[in-house]
């Protein structure tokens, strides 16, 4: 049973729905909503004329004329009639799946209202609850597959285990080849297939046959599946002396604020004086958790958000209650996938000039959903209100044309930002008088596009992944002549912060990779030279993952991140902005204790 606070219960996100959207767009051209089914049943079958010269549709028996008013009874009757017609006459290739038929009908009906109301069947609702609990059930390992020079998958391998997880306790290590799971051969299978075999109910056994890296010895390992922690704050470390970094891309779950408090305490002990909060790719979650994070930086009485429901319902305002807020200068990183609860946090901090926002314009989701339990374990997530930021901004993007596909693509995650977006909505002002606008998400104070590569170059880099993995396996096993110092034959050291001295990639190592990739995978030296930075970054990531775990390996990528670099450069501006906001607040509330 999932437990929500009253605040969390009323405001949920699109983290699960965004994954489900792409299932919908594949079927959008032929999906009929319940309303469409009604039109079909009453219009098409109310005629006696044939549709074509070859196929005749029998006339519907005469019935009493129905009232023009659409009532629940009429809808129920017509829907039943439509299902009956489908049962008796459908002759397509697909087998009838009544759960899917009803689910898509309900979803399509809801999407005529807004893009964020959705129906979850029992299985999806269980996944939703697991998603919000910051855990899953399995063995607790990062896995990846590797292909041969012909592109055929060889096997799936262990890349890292998580601290305290079943796989870690069982002694699995980087490079262990997964030969079988519970008697099912996994050689030649991609990691997605193997992952499904490894996950399962708590307390069940996953019997693995593995082949150890280096020795080639096969062992049988029995692992009891258990809850595996999936923190919503994936990274917490010092980017440089005095500057802390929180990577909050795991959504806002039931444990987010608790994680935030613990991570902030740890960073403070390490000397943090300035902070970067990374909300890129955070699709939202429990807004009560996002509000509590905002409250940590806001003073008593400062508004976090306002919720406005349907006509006749009271407006609710949520204010900070914190007599001793944190005063560290803050930069918040956002992008086009920053949505919902994340936008509430970013919007509150921007409106009060408490943080400088850097990156791309956010997604623009400003609607409030409430979960309604339905029969057979399902859940209806229905929009009941909209929210505004402290300055009064409604950040929800336009959906007046009802085109779900365009909403998520042209205007959302896949929009073209080559031309700066012009303000679309009403103008509001931050505490220091800066202009901000409604109607299109949160516009950053400093716009920075991520580094992008062409499709052709992406194809080249993907082609280098298997040579990099294969070389890294030999390197870590101590099999590369002259580079035996890179051998890693010990358990993962968790909680390590990346240092420049950790496994540097020098010319000797890079040249060894070129020789290996050329002989084993026929990779031309010019190709490797052209992607030297990528190759070096990926090999170092493999080394760090083997020695320090997956979470520390993410820090390698951060060293190449242009948006993080800009966030670091912007910290002095964030500090000035925060000071100006405090002065403005002191003038407007002279009696308040500062």
Confidence at 129, pLDDT banded by 50, 70, 90: confident
pLDDT of residue 418: 65
Query: Looking at residue 412, what is its pLDDT?
Result: 60
- pLDDT at residue 283 tops 70: yes
pLDDT at 26: 39
- Predicted pLDDT of residue 62: 59
Residues 6 or more apart in contact with residue 164 via CB below 8 angstroms: 140, 229
H or E element, residue 349:
helix 341-351
pLDDT band at 17 (very low <50, low <70, confident <90, very high): very low
Answer with the residue of higher pLDDT: 228 or 129: 228
Determine the average pLDDT of the residues in 128-139: 80
CA distance 139 to 295: 36
585: confidence class by pLDDT, cuts 50, 70, 90: confident
The pLDDT of 381-405, averaged and rounded, is 90
Greatest C-alpha distance within the chain: 91
How far is it, in rounded angstroms, from Cα 398 to Cα 381? Answer: 20
Average pLDDT over residues 493-519: 96
The alpha carbon of 494 is separated from its chain's Cα centroid by a whole number of angstroms, namely: 24
pLDDT band for 66, please (50, 70, 90 cuts): low
105: confidence class by pLDDT, cuts 50, 70, 90: confident
Identify the pLDDT of residue 61: 58
What residue spans of 61-143 are helical by DSSP H?
72-89, 98-111, 122-132
pLDDT bin (cut points 50, 70, 90) of residue 43 is very low
**How much is the pLDDT for 250?**
92
Tell me the pLDDT tens digit for each residue of 536-568.
Answer: 999 999 999 999 999 999 999 999 999 999 999
Lowest-confidence pick of 31-45, 119-133, 418-432, 440-454: 31-45
Residues 537, 556 contacting (CB under 8 angstroms): yes
Q: Where are the beta strands (DSSP E) in 165-231?
A: 177-181, 184-185, 205-211, 218-224, 226-229
Lowest mean pLDDT among 45-49, 283-287, 299-303, 450-454: 45-49
Question: What pLDDT does residue 51 have?
Answer: 35
Show Cβ contacts of residue 464 under 8 Å, excluding neighbours closer than 6 positions: 517, 523, 527, 528, 531, 534, 535, 538
What's the confidence (pLDDT) of residue 63? 57
Instruction: Report the catalytic residues.
Output: 340, 351, 365
| Percent of the chain whose pLDDT exceeds 70 | 85
Q: What's the confidence (pLDDT) of residue 423?
A: 64
Sequence-ordered list of residues with C-beta below 8 angstroms from that of 325, at least 6 positions apart, any chain = 295, 296, 297, 298, 299
167 has pLDDT over 50: yes
Statement: residue 205 has pLDDT above 70:
yes
User: What domains does the chain contain, in order, with CATH numbers?
Assistant: 137-229 (2.30.42.10), 235-451+571-588 (3.90.226.10), 455-560 (no CATH)
List, for residues 320-377, the tens digit of each pLDDT value.
Answer: 999 999 999 999 999 999 999 999 999 999 999 999 999 999 999 999 888 899 888 8
Q: For 76-96, write each residue's pLDDT tens digit.
A: 888 889 888 988 899 888 888
Give the pLDDT confidence score for residue 56 in this predicted structure: 47
Q: Which helix (H) or strand (E) holds 197?
A: helix 191-198
Q: Distance between CA atoms of 391 and 304, rounded to whole angstroms?
A: 10
Predicted local confidence at residue 7, as pLDDT:
38
Nearest-Å Rg of the Cα atoms of the chain is 28
Per-chain mean pLDDT for the chain: 86
Q: Smallest Cα–Cα separation from 120: which of 106, 101, 130?
A: 106
How many Cβ atoms sit within 10 Å of the Cβ of residue 418?
6
Burial of 552 per CB tally in 10 Å (0-12, 13-18, 19+): buried
Q: What are the contacts of 51-58 at 24+ separation with CB within 8 A?
A: none
Of 413, 445, 450, 412, residue with least CA distance to 430? 445
Provide DSSP, 35-55.
HHHHHIIIIITT--S-SSSS-
């Amino acid at each position: 049973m999932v437990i929500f606070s009253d605040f969390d219960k009323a405001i949920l996100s699109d983290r699960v729905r965004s994954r489900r959207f792409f299932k919908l767009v594949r079927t959008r051209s032929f999906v009929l909503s319940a309303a469409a089914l009604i039109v079909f049943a009453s219009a098409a079958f109310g005629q006696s004329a044939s549709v074509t010269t070859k196929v005749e549709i029998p006339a519907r028996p005469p019935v009493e004329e129905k009232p023009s008013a659409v009532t629940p009874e009429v809808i129920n009757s017509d829907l039943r009639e439509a299902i009956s017609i489908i049962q008796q006459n459908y002759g397509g290739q697909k087998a009838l799946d009544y759960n899917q038929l009803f689910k898509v009908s309900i979803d399509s009906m809801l999407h005529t209202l807004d893009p964020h109301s959705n129906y979850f069947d029992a299985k999806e609702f269980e996944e939703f609850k697991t998603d919000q609990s910051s855990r899953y059930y399995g063995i607790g390992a990062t896995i990846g597959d590797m292909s041969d020079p012909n592109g055929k998958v060889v096997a799936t391998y262990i890349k890292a285990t998580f601290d305290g997880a079943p796989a870690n306790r069982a002694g699995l290590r980087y490079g262990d080849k997964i030969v079988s799971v519970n008697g099912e051969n996994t050689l030649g299978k991609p990691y997605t297939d193997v992952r499904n075999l490894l996950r399962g109910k708590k307390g069940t056994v996953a019997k693995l046959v593995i082949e150890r890296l280096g020795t080639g010895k096969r062992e049988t390992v029995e692992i009891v599946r258990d809850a595996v922690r999936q923190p919503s704050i994936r990274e917490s470390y010092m980017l440089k002396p005095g500057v802390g970094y929180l990577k909050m891309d795991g959504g806002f779950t039931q444990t987010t604020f608790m994680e935030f408090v613990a991570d902030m305490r740890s960073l403070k002990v390490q000397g943090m004086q300035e902070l970067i909060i990374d909300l890129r790719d955070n699709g939202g979650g429990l807004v009560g958790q996002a509000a509590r994070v905002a409250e940590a930086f806001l003073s008593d009485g400062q508004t976090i958000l306002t919720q406005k429901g349907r006509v006749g319902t009271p407006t609710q305002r949520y204010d900070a209650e914190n007599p001793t807020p944190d005063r560290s200068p803050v930069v918040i990183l956002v992008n086009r996938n920053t949505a919902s609860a994340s936008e509430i946090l970013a919007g509150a901090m921007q409106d009060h000039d408490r943080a400088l926002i850097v990156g791309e314009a956010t997604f623009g989701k400003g609607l409030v959903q409430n979960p309604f339990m339905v029969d057979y374990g399902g859940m209806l997530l229905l929009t009941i209100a909209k929210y505004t930021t402290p300055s009064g901004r409604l950040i929800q993007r336009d959906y007046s044309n009802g085109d779900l596909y365009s909403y998520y693509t042209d205007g959302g995650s896949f929009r073209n930002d080559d031309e700066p977006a012009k303000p679309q909505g009403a103008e509001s002002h931050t505490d220091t008088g800066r202009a901000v606008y409604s109607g299109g998400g949160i516009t950053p104070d400093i716009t920075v596009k991520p580094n992008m590569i062409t499709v052709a170059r992406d194809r080249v880099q993907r082609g280098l992944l298997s040579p990099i993995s294969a070389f890294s396996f030999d390197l870590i096993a101590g099999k590369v002549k002259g580079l035996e110092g890179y051998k890693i034959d010990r358990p993962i050291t968790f909680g390590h912060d990346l240092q420049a001295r950790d496994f540097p990639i020098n010319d000797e190592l890079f040249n060894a990779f070129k020789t290996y990739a050329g002989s084993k995978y026929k990779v031309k030296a010019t190709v490797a030279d052209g992607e030297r930075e990528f190759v070096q970054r990926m090999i170092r990531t493999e080394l760090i993952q083997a020695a320090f775990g997956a979470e520390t390996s993410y820090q390698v990528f951060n060293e190449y991140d242009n948006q993080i670099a800009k966030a670091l450069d912007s910290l002095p501006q964030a500090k000035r902005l925060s000071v100006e906001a405090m002065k403005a607040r002191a003038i407007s509330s002279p009696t308040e204790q500062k």
